[in-house]
Structure 1
């Protein structure tokens, strides 16, 4: 298959002088940075190289992606390609009139973060809605917050929608979500709470009525309308939540554009230089091409094409759908389409329990139930789909939380390889909260990438009270098995799943190592034996994710000939305490050699 690609708020700006300056003479022996001499920079006066650097980064702790190779400086050509990596003296050979010097001041210089699984458009748009902040609350506390949101928008009475984001479905501490708790609020407005996990929604009776959801409404493919003796309870799982959420008015074009500008500026400020929209469509492709063309998005963009559960039963129809989206790609737009996304299951936490498990869920007292979760695409249907898409050259990216869904993914990829032969399609399983030990080596054997969101690998509302009582102990002890997969030879890649939680790739990097991160509710780790070391964590968020995105010949490392997608940090990651990694500040973000984030200057 042809690859059609060519290639909270941001941190407060520094009040100090800029660390960037121009080398205005071709034979200058020292660099003047912000009016002062930058210590320790010695430039070679030997034979000049064939190329003159547009930009030189000096005085850094350069992490190239190879721990055996140390460096302190990088030279970047006028075409945005890395010319050289080495000591300050070595890189001084690339100096020339007009070369810009960036002083890293001892901070880590490394490849940009490649976020190989996020939902950036909805992440950016989420900032336009009132937020519950993913907090754990009682029903009374939730109702008080909602009364505040209603009081702040009196112009929306009597029937304007109140859509609230970042509701924590695992964090309602004294009840199970039910429309009755929303119906008692003093309003007739439709109210919809969007779960922070994007797998649960909660609606009041007015919202259900506005969306036409009644006692006789069938469950949609890939979703569940939770019901009791009186009809829908207002709790909606997976595809069912979109039946109600989709009835609410969209943001205005201006609201969307403002949100996108802020959202992608945030991503740049955090060092994200490439990302994959993990659940897009043809419209997403067109939106990203427009945003890149107008300079709102600078990152390299991949857009996975979602195949819903119903379409997944028709492999040829699914192929036609995603090929149509790929046809919308404009050459040299910086947007690529080569991935198909399939949701095999949901999430494991109570009350949803839609992750497909090999062992039954427990009843909370330790006794097995007859509930194994929901597998939205059968093993037989997925095998046929995987075989068809693999033959056509598509990468397949499956949402698989439960160990049964992971096994179905692996079985489908194995069948595709048996039918089609070995191909470089780089199939990927994302999330992998649970996986049986016998399936660990299959990732390497089948060359399947494990894409993981390891900021979740910490004691939290999602891994403690809403999960531990309901999962078999041997499965609970193997949550997010990054260490075991790595030891079994699996290739790891990183992703945030933004906006499922707050975007912070540095906390992802850290939590993969200490399994504690910045949000541990116990102060300790979750399954510490599944940790990986810092170099491995950095690799999965750079080179590993670049490989998943088919950018391994373009980005993901710092070496001559690759594009200068580089970040410069405020400290040396490899010598700092691991807990400090979560609070990393990005001083500069460069894409293709161009500075797109520098808080000391207006962009």
Structure 2
């Protein structure tokens, strides 16, 4: 199968562009001028780009693809301005979707930071009992690190006045010791598990919906943490995702980041047939161990070295203690397994680097252990990341929310190096970009916009949040493509439009390199190509 894209502005690398690209058997055969490439085209399918810009396909270095599809099926609470509005929306959603919600209701979309200033309280079991009392209702905050549960859900979790603690989590209590329904970290995760999950066929529909959405935004690879985390049964998750490719439904490349909450889970994964599996010509791969060290900024559960400036005495919630973390990291290293860890606060980042460094062989990070999120940093911490060769997987889209609270949470000194993407680039730290979707939208153009402008989508603050940390467009695109490929050991075959690389690319509706930066968030693909196949084309 041959295909030619010509009359385009083909991004090869910084300051290097060509006019045309020849695709053959799923790979890039040649890149050059229209004249040269069309002369080699033969009977290839010919696509006139009409002068449009073509870039490598985006590779989201950390997200939750299944969760994206599930969020699209569940009630959307992202615009709610109060707990009362959340309750009203959920009641109406149950009326309109009786079959989907008959066994319970789950959503992960509300954010109290969006509530009206006089209504910024957190939901509790008494609120959610107004939605239902006979089935579990669990409404997670958008970050997924905290959640509210109704009384039925608490009962199914086994929580009560007498049993009100969960290791690695926080259970908020009423005066008499009864759980009030608000939960954090492992407690919030446990609450989600008591809401019955969809059938296997419904889960396939959910994944298809998520894939269709992702490729419509120019994503050609996702490094997704669903296996063992969002879908707790690792084998079920493996079977589900793999079935997409067995049945020809897979639209993009899927690299699994595998959740293993315990050592027993990790040993089971290492001994399993799917350990580091690569199938369907690399469209489906199973990769690193995904761990959690701390929580979120919105929930004030990210672990920090100094107490929260706006919540004295609070240092966050540690999801795994140092000894258990070290045991799992060392075990992974012994078996040649990369580790990628959720770390947001500076305390979590520091301790995770400690664990990584102790597991290095010959003092180098050959397994490319990575820090996912890595938001609260100072210069000594960034210098240590550079020295150890630890990778960062940033989510620049987090800026649109967190720029509004970073100074109040952590103070101005730490805010100056908050999501310090320009400093990291200048220091040659290997840093990729992603979204953590559905915590934020997986739209990479919004991510690039945030990295380049450091403003939210309304243009606030004018000039950017600590604008010295703004990156340029090539840096952002490379972080979303070749750097993400580096994180999954695919930098020699993915992330560039060069001969020998996989033919994963996106044709854009406007030139991302020359538009006003405020317009970057509005760019959309005209066409998305994965392995030479057109998997998305904008309707005329």
TM-score, normalization by structure 1: 0.82
Count residues in correspondence: 529
Indicate conservation of the 8 Å contact 1:401/1:434, yes or no: yes
Cα offset for 1:172?
4.0
Partner of 1:568: 507
Partner of 1:209: 155
Q: Distance in 2 between matches of 1:580 and 1:403?
A: 33
Deviations 1:362-391 (A, max 9, x none): 345xxxx33211222233443343233223
Q: Distance in 2 between matches of 1:339 and 1:155?
A: 37
2:252 to 296, 299, 315: 299
Q: Distance in 1 between matches of 2:144 and 2:132?
A: 27
Q: How does 1:41-80 map to 2 (within 5 A)?
A: 54-64=2-12, 66-77=13-24, 79-80=25-26
Partner of 2:231: none
1:95 to 25, 41, 45: 41
Unaligned runs of 5+ in 1: 1-52
Indicate conservation of the 8 Å contact 1:441/1:489, yes or no: no
Partner of 1:433: 375
Q: Distance in 2 between matches of 1:289 and 1:271?
A: 22
Partner of 1:464: 404
2:68 to 108, 114, 123: 123
Pair 1:166-2:115 in alignment: no
Deviations 1:332-384 (A, max 9, x none): 463222311110100122xx3211101112345xxxx3321122223344334
Cα offset for 1:155?
7.2
Q: Distance in 2 between matches of 1:325 and 1:429?
A: 27
1:447 to 379, 384, 389: 389
Pair 1:416-2:356 in alignment: no
Q: Distance in 2 between matches of 1:115 and 1:449?
A: 15
Pair 1:252-2:194 in alignment: no
Pair 1:340-2:289 in alignment: yes
Indicate conservation of the 8 Å contact 1:356/1:373, yes or no: yes
Partner of 1:35: none
Partner of 1:37: none
Indicate conservation of the 8 Å contact 1:346/1:354, yes or no: yes
Partner of 2:30: 84
Q: Distance in 2 between matches of 1:186 and 1:123?
A: 25
1:383 to 305, 322, 326: 326
Cα offset for 1:513?
0.5
Q: Distance in 1 between matches of 2:48 and 2:336?
A: 44
Tell me whether 193-202 or 183-192 shows the greater mean CA deviation: 183-192
Q: Distance in 1 between matches of 2:103 and 2:4?
A: 54
Deviations 1:131-186 (A, max 9, x none): 11x235123333332332244356799x7423333122443442232223333558
Indicate conservation of the 8 Å contact 1:573/1:581, yes or no: yes
Deviations 1:285-341 (A, max 9, x none): 222211111122132221112132xx2xx4x87344344263483644632223111
Pair 1:288-2:288 in alignment: no
Q: Distance in 1 between matches of 2:139 and 2:458?
A: 23
Cα offset for 1:574?
0.8
Q: Secondary structure at the match of 2:211?
A: helix
Unaligned runs of 5+ in 2: 229-233
The alpha-carbon distance between structure 1 residues 154 and 337, as it changes in their structure 2 partners (threshold 3 A), is closer
Indicate conservation of the 8 Å contact 1:382/1:408, yes or no: no
2:426 to 482, 487, 511: 487
Q: Distance in 2 between matches of 1:181 and 1:93?
A: 68
Cα offset for 1:547?
0.7
Q: Secondary structure at the match of 2:436?
A: coil
Q: Secondary structure at the match of 1:590?
A: strand
Pair 1:275-2:222 in alignment: yes
Partner of 2:128: 182
Indicate conservation of the 8 Å contact 1:285/1:328, yes or no: no
Deviations 1:396-444 (A, max 9, x none): 1010000011111222222222x55435311110101101210112222
Tell me whether 333-342 or 541-550 shows the greater mean CA deviation: 333-342
Q: Distance in 2 between matches of 1:484 and 1:113?
A: 22
The alpha-carbon distance between structure 1 residues 74 and 122, as it changes in their structure 2 partners (threshold 3 A), is same
Q: Secondary structure at the match of 1:457?
A: helix
2:316 to 360, 367, 373: 373
Partner of 2:185: 238
The alpha-carbon distance between structure 1 residues 488 and 216, as it changes in their structure 2 partners (threshold 3 A), is farther
Q: Distance in 2 between matches of 1:153 and 1:271?
A: 31
Indicate conservation of the 8 Å contact 1:298/1:596, yes or no: yes
Alignment root-mean-square deviation, CA: 2.5
More helix, by proportion = 2
The alpha-carbon distance between structure 1 residues 212 and 112, as it changes in their structure 2 partners (threshold 3 A), is same
2:529 to 590, 596, 599: 590
Cα offset for 1:213?
2.1
Q: Distance in 1 between matches of 2:195 and 2:265?
A: 29
Partner of 2:96: 152
Cα offset for 1:109?
0.8
Q: Secondary structure at the match of 2:62?
A: strand
Q: Distance in 2 between matches of 1:154 and 1:92?
A: 56
Q: Distance in 2 between matches of 1:379 and 1:212?
A: 27
Q: Secondary structure at the match of 1:338?
A: strand
Q: Distance in 1 between matches of 2:107 and 2:446?
A: 25
Q: Distance in 1 between matches of 2:4 and 2:483?
A: 26
The alpha-carbon distance between structure 1 residues 331 and 412, as it changes in their structure 2 partners (threshold 3 A), is same
Indicate conservation of the 8 Å contact 1:507/1:582, yes or no: yes
Indicate conservation of the 8 Å contact 1:285/1:329, yes or no: no
Cα offset for 1:244?
2.1
Q: Distance in 2 between matches of 1:180 and 1:408?
A: 38
Q: Of the two, which has the highest radius of gyration?
A: 1
Pair 1:359-2:306 in alignment: yes
The alpha-carbon distance between structure 1 residues 185 and 528, as it changes in their structure 2 partners (threshold 3 A), is same
